[in-house]
Amino acid sequence: MVAIADETKPSLTTLPGNAPLEEIIAIIKRDGACIIKDLVSIESLHTVKAEAQASLDADVPTDGTFFPQETRRTYSLIQCSPTFSTDVLMNKTIVAVANNFVTSRHSYWSGERRTALSPPQVSATGAIVLGPGAKAQDFHRDDHCWHVTRGAADIYEDGRDVQLSVLVAGSRATKENGATRVIPKSHLWDDEREPKWEDGVAFAEMEPGSGMLFLGSVYHAGGENTTENEYRYLYAIGYLRGYLRQEENQYLAVQPEVARKLPPEVQDFMGYSVSAPFCGWVKFDSPAKMLRGGELRPRDFY
């Protein structure tokens, strides 16, 4: 039974893990965000946590306020967790939704009329552990990174967003331990409108393995952890248009010797591929060949 959001109280729609893709997309277009249950198995989550723990332990508090002092983070999860790469990053449901929202299609003339299809790439990955006493973040949009400007809209139009963001719960995420705060339908706002609490805030409360998929234009904020001993684990991913600069530089964040051992589809998703028609080549050939030790031969991308 699908939990449909109550229009009288801000909330997020939660769907079962086997929900039809069309339903997921429709809800994200309407609200800007959607929670999907049972995206990742508990076994996979335990493995990811174990693989990433050393990096989390090595983290130190930041000097700023965006990440509270009680927060611990690790970035470049592709580098430290092979299981994350295969079981979370490449999750079929998440990738299908990302393909819908941030795949680019561009038609142009080059001798004849052509159409280029550019699928999403990884923008950034990370684990965020929110400890007791952590204060809430300010509301923000993830797509500020790319200087995106937009006007207000009554209904969602395809192509409006450049990124799909995903938060997968590695532990229970509750209002008390810092579940992400979301302003539903803020993806339809223009750039001038200031996000405020009275706009209506929903809490992305999730069980381990569930995930919130939301557009880069949605105003959201990490919540406040008012518990005494609970730590909220979230795994974050950004899926970005293939022709834009990544927020996290994957070519340095993930060492080449690690990248070479990853499945080809993960390598391509990291950016070791050409974004059609001809963005990202090396010696006019695919960078995947260089990574995999192949011989580069100029290709006719035009």
> If you average pLDDT over residues 76-82, what whole number do you get?
96
What pLDDT score does 165 carry?
A: 99
Residue 180 and residue 256 in contact, taking contact as beta carbons nearer than 8 Å: no
> If you average pLDDT over residues 100-108, what whole number do you get?
96
> From residue 212, how far is each of 1, 144, 199, 234 by CA, in Å?
18, 20, 20, 10
> If you average pLDDT over residues 18-44, what whole number do you get?
98
Confidence of residue 66 (pLDDT cuts 50, 70, 90): low
Confidence of residue 290 (pLDDT cuts 50, 70, 90): confident
Q: Is the pLDDT of residue 272 over 90?
A: yes
Architecture of domain 14-249: Sandwich (2.60)
DSSP the chain: --BPPPTTS----EE-TT--HHHHHHHHHHHSEEEETT-S-HHHHHHHHHHHHHHHHT----SSSSS-TTEEEEE-HHHH-HHIIIIIIT-HHHHHHHHHHH-EEEEEESSSEEEEEE--EEEEEEEEEEPTTPPPPPPB-GGGGGT------SS--TT--SEEEEEEESS-B-TTBTPPEE-TTGGGS-SSPPP-GGG--EE--B-TT-EEEEETTS-EE---B--SS--EEEEEEEEE-TTSPPSS-HHHHS-HHHHTTS-HHHHHHHT-S-BTTTBS-BTTB-HHHHHTTPPP------
> If you average pLDDT over residues 1-22, what whole number do you get?
78
Confidence of residue 300 (pLDDT cuts 50, 70, 90): low
What pLDDT score does 6 carry?
A: 47
Mean residue pLDDT across the chain: 92
Q: Which of 20-29, 40-49, 232-241, 287-296 has the lowest mean pLDDT?
A: 287-296
pTM of the model: 0.92
What pLDDT score does 283 carry?
A: 87
Confidence of residue 84 (pLDDT cuts 50, 70, 90): very high
The percent of residues above 70 in pLDDT, for the chain, comes to 92
What pLDDT score does 1 carry?
A: 43
Domain residue spans in the chain? 14-249
What pLDDT score does 57 carry?
A: 86
Q: Is the pLDDT of residue 7 over 60?
A: no
Confidence of residue 4 (pLDDT cuts 50, 70, 90): very low
Closest CA to 247 of 168, 148, 142: 142
Q: Is the pLDDT of residue 64 over 60?
A: yes
Q: Is the pLDDT of residue 271 over 60?
A: yes
- Phi, psi (rounded to 5 degrees) for 277: -85, -35
Q: Is the pLDDT of residue 179 over 50?
A: yes
Task: Using the Cα atoms of residue 253, residue 145, residue 200 and residue 229 in order, give the sign of their dihedral.
Answer: positive
Confidence of residue 276 (pLDDT cuts 50, 70, 90): very high
